[in-house]
Amino acid sequence: MAEVQTKPKLKEHRINRAWCKGCGICVAFCPKQVLELDDQDKAVAVRPEDCIACKLCELRCPDLAIEIITE
SS percent in the chain: helix, strand, coil, step 5 = 20, 25, 60
Nearest Cα neighbor of 23 from 41, 35, 38 is 41
Q: Which is nearer to ligand SF4, 3 or 39 (CB)?
A: 39
C-alpha to C-alpha distance for 6 and 18, rounded to whole angstroms: 34
Footprint (CB under 8 A) of other proteins, residues 40-69:
56, 59-65
- Closest distance to ligand SF4 from the beta carbon of 1 (Å): 30
Check binding of 25 to other proteins (CB under 8 A): yes
Binding site for other proteins (CB under 8 A): 18-19, 21-25, 28-29, 56, 59-65
